């Protein structure tokens, strides 16, 4: 596995900063210069390595002493760095027909974004939420309730893997994940958005993801 890592350390729970450290978790992140300096390169590589490793059921099996909670995304403040970076990795289950056997095969397709200086530049008035609520590697307490977010957002920023500036429109689950990570870079956490008086409050037109 070490040869597949982008940096030298094996991802560990010790990297994570929790919400009991507000000096980092509640601090607003700053934009960084591009191309990245070495220190910032290490940060984005750590974010990528952590999420990829956490999603690997073989490397990150539950028998590991330092088992990681599988993550879809991770933002720089969660590893103690107040810089505007995050990594998100989506796995989609797909099917295809084997041309030789004619059988339908299942496979996983990954979609990855290593975002630098990302910003939401437009959003829809339509709200949405994850049916089961949200969780976070930086939050140990289980906060129950619905987390309303924009169903559709437009994001611009620098995508480190492709080394390009991008402008993308995201809907549904991907939009929710991006907003969750961007909240981290603004010093906010998912439970800030839960209705304090009625945690499961939802309006009829909110879209369930």
Catalytic positions? 181
Structure tokens at 79: 């590893």
CA within 13 Å, CB half, 160: 27
DSSP state string for 160-205 = TTTTEEEEEEEEHHHHHHHHHHHHHHTT--GGGGS-SS-TT---TT
What span, in angstroms and rounded, lies between the C-alpha atoms of 116 and 22?
Answer: 22
Please give the structure tokens belonging to residue 130: 């994850």
Token pair 């290490």: residue? 42
Nearest to 87 by CA among 53, 117, 114, 50: 114
């Amino acid at each position: 596995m070490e040869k597949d890592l982008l940096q030298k350390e094996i991802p560990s729970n010790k990297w994570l900063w929790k919400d009991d450290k507000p000096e980092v978790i509640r601090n607003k992140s700053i934009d960084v210069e591009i191309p990245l300096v070495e220190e910032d390169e290490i940060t984005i590589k750590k974010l990528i390595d952590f999420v990829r490793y956490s999603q690997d059921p073989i490397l990150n099996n539950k028998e590991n002493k330092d088992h990681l909670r599988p993550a879809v995304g991770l933002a720089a403040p969660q590893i103690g760095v107040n810089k505007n970076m995050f990594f998100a990795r989506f796995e989609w289950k797909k099917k295809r027909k084997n041309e030789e056997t004619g059988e339908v095969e299942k496979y996983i397709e990954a979609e990855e974004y290593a975002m630098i200086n990302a910003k939401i530049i437009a959003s829809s008035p339509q709200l949405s939420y994850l049916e089961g609520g949200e969780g976070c590697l930086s939050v140990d307490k289980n906060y129950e309730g619905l987390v309303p977010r924009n169903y559709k957002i437009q994001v611009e920023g620098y995508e480190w893997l492709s080394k390009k500036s991008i402008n993308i429109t995201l809907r549904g689950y991907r939009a929710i994940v991006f907003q969750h990570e961007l909240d981290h870079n603004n010093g906010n956490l998912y439970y800030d958005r839960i209705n304090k008086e009625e945690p499961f409050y939802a309006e009829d037109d909110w879209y369930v993801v």
